[in-house]
Every structure is written in C-alpha cells, then in structure tokens.
Structure 1
Amino acid sequence: MDSVLLILIAIIVLFSYRGFRDEAFFRKYEFHIGSIRSGEHIRMITSGFLHADFTHLIFNMLTLYFFAPVVIVHLGVVHFLIIYFGSLLCGSMLSLYIHKDEYYYRAIGASGAVTGVLYSAILLQPDMTLGLYFIIPVPAYLFGIGYLLYSIYGMRTRMDNIGHTAHFGGAIGGYVITLAQVPSMFYENTLMVVLLAIPIVLLFILEKSGKL
C-alpha cells in the first residue's frame, strides 16, 4: 500500500474527527452555498475532509483504500492525487452549479473524490468485479453505470440527505481526467468509454431540459 494513500486517509480521518467534536470547526469548513458565494471558496475543498459520522467516514475510506491502489498501479501517485483532488473539486463545482440559488444548501464528505477514483479504477481495469454489499459479484462497469443512474434519481427526488450531486460531479472528474491522462483508452477500450459516458450525457440532457 502506497504511503501517500495512507497519509491522505489519516489526514481525512483526523480532520473528520475534529469536525465530530467541534461544531464551530465543522460549520467553518463544510460546503455551504451562501458562504461559498460570499467568497469562502476554500470550503469547496475542505468539505471533502469532513464527514457526518463514523459510518460515513469508514465507508468512504474503505472504498478509497480498495480502489485507489488500482489507479496508483496504472498511473502512479502523482496522477492519482490529480484525479482525487480534481474529482473533489468537480463534485463541488457541480454542486455549486446545480444548487447555486439554494443559499442554505450544505454538504460534506469525500464521496465526490472517492467516486472519481472508483470511476477511474473502472476505466483502467474494466474487468474488475465488485462485491455488492460485499457479497454479490457485479462487473465494475455495471456498478459504475448503475451508481450514477441512482445518483440522477437522488438528485431529482431529493428524498434523502446524500450529496448525489457531488458524487456525480466526482465521477465526471474521474472519467475526464483519467481519459485525458490515458487517451489511448478511446480506441483501446472504446466500448467501456462509451458505456460509462451514458449516465453523464443523460445528466446534461436532463439539466438542459430543466428536469433536475
């Protein structure tokens, strides 16, 4: 396991733990549309180091722990970090765009960045099999597509407190940045590139038609 990944996980855990114990700290660094629009842009990054509770934190860190090594092996540590923080920023930017007029809107979590890493890993190693609920084997690309379709559903219904918009933005970030780093995938793995693009295209169609 690469030491950079372990250091990143440790920083997120420590930052999140501070947020659990200190509400003022949590509120200062969470994603909050009103604060960001007033100039506190650092929240678009720092919110990715906060979590709602230990379950939220553990789930994200386990996902990162399992899938980041795939990206690191294929692309190296520097490119992994570019994908991680690029996906985090993409998740925040999409959230800001979609919810720009909802000044009360708040969000936290590394899910956008982690989803970007997951999508990157699927592109780089599409023959992976994921364990749905850690039991049911599912091809990685089907999981990725299904996850984003569920995120679109969550963005439309808003029936839970999950930051689906950040997840989707993170996936777009992981997808675009990975293809920019490995453009040969366009002709070496064309089918997978097209399949993983379907929910992304669908999102923009729905947004342009005002159905989000």
Structure 2
Amino acid sequence: MNLSLNINLIIIIVVSLISIAGFSRPVIVDRLRFNAWQIINRNEYYRMLSYGLVHGSWMHLLINMFVLYSFGEAVLYYFKAAFVTGAAIRYLILFVSALGISTLATLIKEKDNPHYNAVGASGAVSAVVFSSILFAPYNPILFFGIIPVPGIIFGVLYLIYSKSMAGKNLDNIGHDAHYYGALYGLIFPILYEPSLAIHFFNRLMSFNF
C-alpha cells in the first residue's frame, strides 16, 4: 500500500480513535468541539479544526468514516493522475483546510451564541465527496446507500437540500458546513490546476453515464 492510500487510512484511524475516546470521556469532546463564542472570545482558534476529531455518536462516526474511506481512495487516485507529485499532501491539505473553510459561515452566524456546539468531520468529508464529483461527475453515488444516482445529480440535490436546511435551522445538523465543505471540495483541485475546470465542463458535456 503506497503513501497516498496510507494518508487516508491514517486520517480515519486518528479520527476514529479520538472520537471513540470521546464517547467515554466527555471532557475530550468539550475541549475539542466547535464553539464559535469560545473561538472568538477566548481565542481558541484550534477549535476550527479540532471539532472534526470528535463525533456525537457511533452512527455519526461510522457513516463519516465509511464515506471518507469510499471516496478518499478515489480522490487520491484522481490527484495522482492530475498532479505530477504530492497527491498525498494535497489530499491532507484538502481534508484539514476543509474543516476550517466549511465552518466559517457558522463562525459568523453563531459568534454571539455560547451555547452552540458542533462536532464531526462532515464538512471535510463533503469536500472529499465533491472533489470526486469534479473528476468524474457521472460516476454513480448510492443515494440512501441503495439507489445509484449520477454524482453530479446527487451533488446538485445535496447542495439544494443543505442550503435549504441551513436557512431553516430546524435541527442540530451542521448543514452550513456540509454546503460550504462541498463547494470547497469542487474548487480545491482547480486552485492547483485551473485546467481541471475545463476537464469538468467537458465531462459534463459528454453525458457519459
């Protein structure tokens, strides 16, 4: 197994171990979770990233890590094909930076709310999924884990749903993080190689399901 594949497994192992430890030791979650008020008023900027290391439940953790494992390998393959060197480090940068980028809107929205907390790597996982859609927009994604849907169609529906739910603010799910993490995942590879935007457009026009 090469380094490019190892970096994804390393991320999964580290996140899983810390999350599992947090299930029995709430102080770990309390110290690492996202809290905009503490970030702004106590200068605890590390929380912009550390919240991705802990999860709210076994289901939350397992879903995120399964999706990350499934799509991470594909993204690493695409990165190796698109970039001459540095696929693994670019993947690591994508994952880590997506944790911060995906919560910027929430940071602004909740900066005066000391009671708002968030955990989970969902924003970064969304970025990985949408990076895969950039390279292969018609590759199927299993909707609800059962129904195969072309990635680009799933992506559009996901963005519409996340944006709508973020505006309604009806639950404790970080829909803003999902939305902005997904958009960032589309943009990130293009920042390194702008010609990938043309590649994406050409693949869209091919209608190759």
Distance, in Å, in 1 between the alignment partners of 2:112 and 2:192 is 34
Taking the TM superposition and a 5 Å limit, the aligned residue runs for 1:109-124 are 109-124=120-135
Distance, in Å, in 2 between the alignment partners of 1:108 and 1:161 is 10
Match for residue 209 of structure 1?
A: none
1:16 matches 2:16 = no
1:63 matches 2:63 = no
Contact 2:33 / 2:54 at 8 angstroms: preserved in 1? Answer: yes
Distance, in Å, in 1 between the alignment partners of 2:52 and 2:103 is 9
Match for residue 179 of structure 2?
A: 168
1:85 matches 2:88 = no
Distance, in Å, in 2 between the alignment partners of 1:188 and 1:122 is 12
Contact 1:141 / 1:192 at 8 angstroms: preserved in 2? Answer: no
Moved more, 86-95 or 55-64: 86-95
Match for residue 194 of structure 2?
A: 183
**RMSD of aligned Cα (Å):** 1.6
Superposed displacement of residue 62, structure 1: 0.5
Contact 2:15 / 2:53 at 8 angstroms: preserved in 1? Answer: yes
Residue 179 of structure 1 aligns with an amino acid whose one-letter code is: I
Distance, in Å, in 1 between the alignment partners of 2:89 and 2:162 is 29
**SS of match in other structure, 1:65:** helix
Cα deviation, 1:98-149, whole Å, max 9, x if unaligned, reads 3233332211100000000011110011121011122211000111111111
Match for residue 84 of structure 2?
A: none
Match for residue 27 of structure 1?
A: 30
Percent of residue pairs bearing the same amino acid type: 34
Distance, in Å, in 2 between the alignment partners of 1:165 and 1:107 is 11
Match for residue 136 of structure 2?
A: 125
**SS of match in other structure, 2:103:** helix
**SS of match in other structure, 2:149:** strand
Contact 1:89 / 1:170 at 8 angstroms: preserved in 2? Answer: no
With over 3 angstroms needed to count, the CA separation of the structure-2 counterparts of 1:98 and 1:178, relative to structure 1, is: farther
1:45 matches 2:19 = no
Cα deviation, 1:19-42, whole Å, max 9, x if unaligned, reads 111111111110011111120010
Match for residue 83 of structure 2?
A: none
Question: TM-score of the superposition, structure 2-length normalised?
Answer: 0.87
Residue 23 of structure 2 aligns with an amino acid whose one-letter code is: F
Distance, in Å, in 1 between the alignment partners of 2:137 and 2:183 is 17
Superposed displacement of residue 150, structure 1: 0.7
Match for residue 170 of structure 2?
A: 159
Residue 143 of structure 2 aligns with an amino acid whose one-letter code is: L
Distance, in Å, in 2 between the alignment partners of 1:77 and 1:127 is 24
